Structure 1
Amino acid sequence: MLHDRRRASLRSLRRTALHGALLHVLCAAAMPLAYAQDTDAPATPAQATTLDQVQVTGTRGTIQTSIDRKREETVVSDVLSADDIGDLPALSIGEAIETITGASTHREKGGASEISIRGLGPFLGSSTFNGREATNGSGDRSVNFNQFPSELINTVAIYKTQRADFVEGGVAGTVNMETVKPLEYGKRTIQLDGRGTWQEYDDRLKDGDGMGWRGTASYIDQFDMGAAGTLGVSLGLQALEGSNPEEMLSSSSTWVACDGREVVGATRNCTQVNGQQVADGVPYYLVPSSRIYRQFIEHDQRDSQFGALQWRPNGAWEVNLDYQHSKRDYTEDRSDLSLSSMMRNLNNRVVTDDGALLHHTGSTTVDSTGNFLERMEEYTGGGFNVIFRPNPAWTLSTDLSYSNTQRDQIERSTRLRAGRTDVNGNPVPGIKNTRYVDYTYDYHGDVPSIYLDPAFDVNNADNFTDSALIRRRQQSREHTIRAQRFDVTFAPEAGFFTALKGGLRRSEATYADFDDTRDITTTDVAAIRAANRACRQAFPQDDFLDNASGNTIDQWASFDSRCLFKAFTGVDDTGLSADLRDPANNDVTEKTYAAYFMGEFSSEWFGLPVTGNLGLRWVRTDVRSVGLRSGLDVTQNPDGTVTLRPTGEFTSQTLSSSNDQWLPSLNAAFELRPDLLLRVGAYRAMSRPDLAAEGYGRSFNLDDVDTEFGSVADALGSITATGNPRAKPLMSWNADVSLEWYANADSILSTAVYYKQFNGGSMPVVVDETFEIDGESVSVPVEQLATSNQKSDLFGFELTGSHTFSYLPGIFSGLGVKASYNYADSNFRTEDLRLGESTDPVTGVVTPRIVEPANIFGLSRHVASAQVYWGLGKLDLQAIYKYRSDYYQQFVGDPSQNRYVRDNGSLDFRATYKVNKHLSFSLSASNLTDEPRVSDMPILGSFREYTTYGRRYYLGVRYRF
């Protein structure tokens, strides 16, 4: 085989003169790699044999394995692979992926979350587990990497070009995680791995719950069953418990553009303007409806079980069975200070040219809000695979898989608002117009400086005696995938093609959610005062946001939310409503049918050995979405405003859509020299909308039960679509060229250039829908996201280098580096849902945009990572720095406005000491730079949120039998 000949050629590689202009460029860019080879004389056969006998472990061993896997792949790819389980050099799967060239993550709860490949958001990529799609509890198509223990994952690969036999859905690429196959592993291993965790910011919390732990046990073995063949077994268990302390200053997710000409009165909100007014020259500024100081106390508990059986009864048959289960219980106890109506009395404004507010005065209500959240998430997955090889030429295989995620979340929240009088009936200093406090906003530090009227004491619990709100909200989401595939491979004895493959795939994905909200409001002065006195608590934290320059509020009057909930309801939990119907609920069924034919070839082109594959995949997608429609009542308030509420009467509506796509692909690898490969790839790819984005629900964006609007038209403008079943997949034509130099087992230098042309994009459209308003049928314009016919382009390139300085003397021979960089740029446009350009699909009328569009979801122009590792005998050290520039980050769930995350970087460290072949100890640290996450909305520079979570430390011990 050609791969075997490559390996033999590489082992006996003797130094040759570089030739050609391209090779001169490679040489100049990687002098250390060239120096790694003997510059005076070629390596002797004896030296090569000695090298082959050396067993390399630790970070260097993992990088060697990864280089070898990358070389053997049939597409443009990057791979992180370890020979032994638990040897991936990272604390989690997400953080492992961050070290792969072109990959970046969005950080949530201090850890790596959604994966972007080559600057493209997770909705443009696909993620698979053992080659199969997996579910999650978020309603999108990404994989929750936290549910898979990194200690039980052997390989993470990113396939950056597509192949006809891949599961469809990877414009950006495909992330595939693999667990070990016990028969291929080939040895018995029993491994115990324990880690203690400590969160630095937990020192600030007064509950003293900062220590956590994670324990993993695994067993792999093989059995000779005589006439019944061989059996391999792999079992893994993991349990963990810990906390995720965070500090946050945030804003609402709804932003408006206000008239910059007016002086806003003390008793009303600013006047909103639309895109046409702005186009006609009306000045504007951008403002959210609220700002929120948020203090978290969180607790996380998770249990996982993994198992696999691999049975080969004879040389013709192989049976594989695998199972995964993960259960997570998460609680969050939150204390908020909400400045909940900040669009009132806005004056003394300092505004940038693009509408960002840097300074202003205003008036707002002030709320002390508590929230206790419990989330239970359970994942169950597995598959059954049978392979039959009747003779050397034919291989038949079938695969059945199942994946299910159930997420239930219960929130019990309470609000006490500062009012005109305190608990003793005395006037509250600083309160004006019944419930409003004057403030000054100034943004020049890390976070905005918000100065409340000095007469008002935000720390005095006596002041919060107005408009009590008690809310119980339960969300339930279930995502299920059932899939079947059948594949046939024929290997001709001679000819251009070395293998011909064909196959069929069918899958059915279902996604359903409901949101049940029960609200209790009261203005009963006596009840509010009694609950206020009974449920006060000391502020749960010291030094809140003390590392953020500009912060002016470091604590506030805090109440026990569960105590308040019981004080007003008489019970700990009021339970679900009798009627769970809601217009925002989603019920989506998506069926996929696919067929492919592909040929693998090995030949010589232009005098060069070449291998590759050529194929075509057909995909049909059928979507069926069910939604509810509710009648609405409009209540006229004494001050002239109106309030919108559903009547509780519903009708059901169903919308179906389908589409067919053809996906051709070509991959070829040219062996320019035994150590130099040129890969090319050309393919068409598709990315479907998220399942939740195919919902047919309608959401009433009311922040509160008593949200008031200036008119009926404003109230109706709050109706938005939770999704659009008609949305088509985003299609792209793609081209890749990759040059890879494998200087030796430790060294690689590769570069790739890629281009993508997108046929389609996401844009807001306004669709007139009929609602029952006060008993009459009214046509209401509803904004929703649709796939446009626009064409856009993306260009990028990436660089990867890895090298071990094994030729240096003494302890320096274990020093190594790995670095990667990805650049991407695109003219893709994502219009803001409320303030962007929108089109009426019936009339064709275009409303001009107010704010500039975002680029494609997840696009960071610059993504880089750098590793330094040092093997010092039994001690292995590793430092990893990761960086990505600013990017547009969608919200998960209902469509919302454009949010940007600013550029950020973080430094992680890991040290492992191997006492002997059985016992090792490790010390790890993440986010050593204490990097916060800062986001803006709906344009860069318009502050939305600052989140910080501190450094985290892990002390581990592993024992391997």
Structure 2
Amino acid sequence: MVQFRSARTALSRALGLALLGMASGSVLAQAQATRQEPQPAPTPAQTQAQAQAAADEATNLDAVVVTGFRRSLEYSTQAKRDATGFTDAIFAEDIGKFPDLNIAESLNRIPGIQLSRDVNGEGLNVAIRGLPNSFTKTTINGASVATASIGLDATNQNREVDLNLFPTEFFTQLTVNKSPKASLLEGGVSGVIDMRNARPFDNPGTHFTYQLQGEYNDVSEKTSPRGSFIGSWTNDAGTFGVLAGVASVKGRIGVEGYETIGWTNPNLTNAQCGNGGAAGGFPALGTPCNMYGGNGWRIPDTVPNNASTVAAGLTPGQAIDRDWLLANNPGLSIEQIGEALIPRLGRPLHMSGDRDRDAFLASLEWRPNDAMHFYMDVLYSEAHRTNDRIDVNLIGRNGGMIPIDMQVDANNVVTSATFANAQFFLEARPYVEDVKYWSVNPGATFWFGDEGQVKLDVQANVSRSWMFRESPTIGFNSPFTTLQYRNDGDLPAWTTDIDLNDPNAGWTWTGGRLWVQNEKRVTETGGARADLQFGDDANNVKVGVAWDRNFRRIQGFGDTGTNWQPYALSQVPEAALAQYILPGPAGFVTVDFDRFMADTNYAQYRDAAAEADGPNTGGSTGGFEEKSLAGYIEFNGAMDVLDRPLRFNAGIRYFKTDQAISGRVGLPGQKVWETRESDYDDYLPSFSAAWDVADDVVLRMSGSRTMTRPNPSNLLPGDYFTDISAQNYNRGNPDLVPYTSTNFDLGGEWYTGDEGFVGLTYFNKQVEGYTYQQVTTVPFASLGVPFDSLVADQQRAINSRGGPGAATVNVQQQVNADAELEIRGWELIWVQPLDVVFDGLGFMANYTKIDIEATGRDARALSGNVYGIAPTMWNATAYWENDVASVRLSYNWAEGAYGTGPNQQGITYAQIVGEDRGQFDLSASYTLSSLPTRPQITLNVINLTGEERRSNFWWPNAVNDLYDPGRTVMLGIRGSF
């Protein structure tokens, strides 16, 4: 059994038990009072009314008379006010009328929530309060969710849930539980997000809602349709209801961008450095000419004999040593030349393709009497996505460019140069991806006793998600050329002697590649739970048990040039290559994919591809299965303190998880599957209280302990190279233990009327078991990997760095840190109607500030190791509505954050750092009140000002990647009857 609880864990458990003891006494007293004054049992119709379903603690909102966005805000405000813990919720005004186009975009309006966007600007998943996306537990109707999909930039290697699979029209409520309860599923150190789908008794009667839109993106320059239809019916007796809905999107993407895959510097020989060592050797790390590592760019020992070097005025065969480099790069020292930074693969890119999704929801409810309520929800979603991704690479890594008149800035970033012996590499990857997800969620509620003071909730769930992506790589090289390189701080750019958009420019297979690369993913979840409540909704004792299963398997399939490449080259020899090349849409050539695939019999080799260590998305072939059994006891009570009402929730949850991790182990060509089993358990106490110190003021506090299971991709036991340059070698770590966190929250709100309130919250998390990527640079020869087991491109890369005896490799492994990560922060939110200024006017705004500090032996390794989390975030929305018109303008801003740890591409100090980013979005509607069903004309503009997404390789003028998703405009019509 894995033991990972510290002394403070025991202390927190003891504190939790003490709080439970106090809580139980109070609850028993309240229960006694309840027995003395019986209260009527709630009927199923009452408990499932729309406002009540929106939040367990929400009060009756019958007095609400506003509609639209303000009505959604008012539901949210009332639910927050009546909650015991720190909870935020977002509501649909009505079935099929969720206030945002994307679930992730909706969650982004909640303080402390950070949205992760795909490269096309679409919201994918969310993080809560300073921890990565995988620390957020996502559920649908209280049941675990796992998706097999991945983003365009190969995200979702951990436990993230891609929210773009789920149409917002199908959901009526999103709840973010920032402080846990014992009755909630474990697994979310940051919090639990629950998505509640629509059901027929949310709005009794017969109803039909429709929405049709046309979508235009100014990068793809394509128009595409989307729409949804939802119908619901309940019988006159109020005992049975059916809801069904379909939603479809036929989308198009267009993305312009720039990638570098990191930056690198020259791997100078001793002769080029002039350090007095053996001429053919290389300076040691930490010595002049190799102070910080990297060494991915190999300046030739002698001037090659080709048209490029002759055109540059160089003498073929002349030795390139220290004196030569200094003479041809005046003003630079040899140390500056040795540390000069250029992109490893400076590559403009273009993406275009389809983003289609079709989804179906069915929900049945049956209420045979006031003591029984049965339901079943079925959700299905499938996506078909294509992406013709092309990029042209200036070859820096493993390349042989010769610098002339090179200039660098104070950080050794090259600002200008003439590069002779330069070469470009065209890379074309026509992705085709299919994703499916389905889930079934049956459940029932029973009330017992004359007054209904005993309630039993039972629920089961099963889901499965499947993905298959094929992404062949077609690559060929340009002839050698001389180019003028410049980097003015925005993007590296160049002018060349050849036209990169000319199919007849002299492209060659030499140094190119032809690969079949496929990826298959399967995720499954299943579970059952039973919750028994004694008492009414205000004062009760709850006990429950839960069983959950989570399974995932990733498989990469590849033919890295051993089968398809020889056949393809025989069908498309170099002399015929130009016939398969077309001018491209972004200033460089592309491939006639259909013709090339047909003539090279691609499909046969695709279907016969063997299992590989992983696909080109960075995932690892392997899988895991977790089975967890949990039980809890929870107390809810209400009492008066100083003549003011106080509500509290206290509980403790115990869980035990059996874990099986499977992966491929062994030398290349000899790998077999191996499964390693382990188990762990823990107690998770929690306590929350809310005190109405005045009629419109609520103070809150919460203390808890939470956990998140480790990243499955890091648990896999196999070892393998993660890149074609054979520079980064990954080692799995099946011995990783879960993350645990001790949490404290303190805050309150002042409610100003209607949807208005001002809230301030302070939060503190102390996380143990956090992992970091341990990177060590070792000689290739020390890995024990036979050189002849590498593919041809990897062998060439090793040889370009001095051969197996001299080339170094970065060995990467995730390990649990012997340190504690303390995350402190505060949130401010203000929602305010401004009817006194102008009828229907209002605003909402929130601000979050996060500070992260590590303490302990490995504190230095953890510093800057919480990736992708903005230290400061804020968003604001101004809105105006009347009976027929509405408009909202929103702005969301996030401060730049670390994207990786140090030692990127072997450069010891380098990290990937995201830049600050803000985005405007607009939403408006006008109701045609004179027409039947009062249809609404809707207008939405996403990324109104066309903001780009950028990250840098440590220095602000060393871009790592940049993506421009463009502006998206949606015009449509929506109505219901």
TM-score by length of 2: 0.77
Counterparts in 2 of 1:523-602, with a 5 A limit?
527-539=572-584, 541=585, 544=586, 555-567=587-599, 569-572=600-603, 574-577=605-608, 579-580=610-611, 582=613, 584-602=620-638
Counterparts in 2 of 1:30-429, with a 5 A limit?
55-108=65-118, 109-137=120-148, 138-203=156-221, 210-224=222-236, 230-252=239-261, 263=272, 274=285, 278=291, 284=339, 289-342=344-397, 344-345=400-401, 347=403, 358=415, 362=419, 364-391=422-449, 392-419=452-479
RMSD: 3.6
The Cα shift of 1:874 comes to 0.5
Distance 1:291 1:465 in 2: 19
Compare 484-493 and 375-384 and name the one that shifted more.
Answer: 484-493
Distance 1:340 1:937 in 2: 17
The Cα shift of 1:326 comes to 0.4
Structure 2 residue identity aligned to 1:601: G
Q: Secondary structure at the match of 1:575?
A: helix
The Cα shift of 1:870 comes to 0.9
Query: 1:468-491: per-residue Cα shift (whole Å, max 9, x none)?
Result: 422211110111111121211111
Distance 2:766 2:341 in 1: 33
Question: Is there any run of 5+ residues in structure 2 with no aligned partner, and where?
Answer: 1-26, 31-60, 149-155, 294-334, 615-619, 790-803
The Cα shift of 1:185 comes to 2.8
Counterparts in 2 of 1:716-865, with a 5 A limit?
718-721=728-731, 723-765=732-774, 773=786, 782-808=811-837, 812-828=838-854, 854-865=864-875
Corresponding position of 1:15: none
Quick check: 2:187–2:706 contact (8 Å CA) kept in 1? yes
Quick check: 2:263–2:953 contact (8 Å CA) kept in 1? no
Query: 1:857-885: per-residue Cα shift (whole Å, max 9, x none)?
Result: 33211111111111143111111111111
Counterparts in 2 of 1:419-568, with a 5 A limit?
419=479, 431=480, 437-452=481-496, 454=497, 459=502, 461-467=504-510, 468-491=512-535, 498-518=539-559, 519=561, 520-521=564-565, 527-539=572-584, 541=585, 544=586, 555-567=587-599
Counterparts in 2 of 1:917-956, with a 5 A limit?
918-937=934-953, 942-956=958-972
Distance 2:529 2:881 in 1: 45
Distance 2:370 2:408 in 1: 74
Distance 1:296 1:603 in 2: 60
Distance 2:602 2:384 in 1: 22
Quick check: 2:880–2:886 contact (8 Å CA) kept in 1? yes
The Cα shift of 1:461 comes to 3.0
Judged with a 3 Å threshold, the aligned counterparts in structure 2 of structure 1 residues 626 and 866 are, in CA distance, closer, same or farther, namely same
The Cα shift of 1:679 comes to 0.7
Quick check: 1:289–1:340 contact (8 Å CA) kept in 2? yes
Distance 1:211 1:912 in 2: 20
Corresponding position of 2:301: none
Distance 1:793 1:285 in 2: 37
The Cα shift of 1:243 comes to 0.5
Distance 1:317 1:270 in 2: 81
Structure that is richer in strand per residue: 1
Distance 2:359 2:581 in 1: 38
Distance 2:833 2:271 in 1: 65
Quick check: 1:615–1:666 contact (8 Å CA) kept in 2? yes
Distance 1:261 1:119 in 2: 46
Structure 1 residue identity aligned to 2:641: W
Quick check: 1:113–1:144 contact (8 Å CA) kept in 2? yes
Q: Does 1:659 align with 2:695?
A: no
Distance 1:561 1:273 in 2: 46
Distance 2:281 2:413 in 1: 15
Compare 349-358 and 865-874 and name the one that shifted more.
Answer: 349-358
Q: Secondary structure at the match of 2:539?
A: strand
Corresponding position of 2:919: 906
Percentage of identical aligned residues: 22
Q: Secondary structure at the match of 1:166?
A: coil
The Cα shift of 1:253 comes to 5.5
The Cα shift of 1:610 comes to 0.7
The Cα shift of 1:507 comes to 1.3
Quick check: 2:507–2:578 contact (8 Å CA) kept in 1? no
Quick check: 1:932–1:947 contact (8 Å CA) kept in 2? yes
Query: 1:119-151: per-residue Cα shift (whole Å, max 9, x none)?
Result: 332122221112221111234322221111112
Query: 1:284-327: per-residue Cα shift (whole Å, max 9, x none)?
Result: 56665322221111111111001111211222222121111001
Judged with a 3 Å threshold, the aligned counterparts in structure 2 of structure 1 residues 691 and 652 are, in CA distance, closer, same or farther, namely closer
Distance 2:916 2:232 in 1: 42
The Cα shift of 1:462 comes to 3.1
Judged with a 3 Å threshold, the aligned counterparts in structure 2 of structure 1 residues 297 and 751 are, in CA distance, closer, same or farther, namely same
TM-score by length of 1: 0.79
Corresponding position of 2:18: none
Distance 1:52 1:501 in 2: 29
Q: Secondary structure at the match of 1:403?
A: strand
Structure 2 residue identity aligned to 1:561: F
Quick check: 1:535–1:563 contact (8 Å CA) kept in 2? yes
Distance 2:226 2:116 in 1: 23
Query: 1:490-537: per-residue Cα shift (whole Å, max 9, x none)?
Result: 1189xxx91111111221111111111112446969943343232122
Question: Is there any run of 5+ residues in structure 1 with no aligned partner, and where?
Answer: 3-50, 204-209, 420-430, 432-436, 545-554, 632-645, 708-714, 831-836, 840-845
The Cα shift of 1:954 comes to 0.4
Structure 2 residue identity aligned to 1:580: E
The Cα shift of 1:687 comes to 1.7
The Cα shift of 1:889 comes to 3.7
Quick check: 1:474–1:576 contact (8 Å CA) kept in 2? no
Distance 2:666 2:828 in 1: 54
Quick check: 2:490–2:959 contact (8 Å CA) kept in 1? no
Quick check: 1:357–1:942 contact (8 Å CA) kept in 2? no
Distance 2:461 2:971 in 1: 37
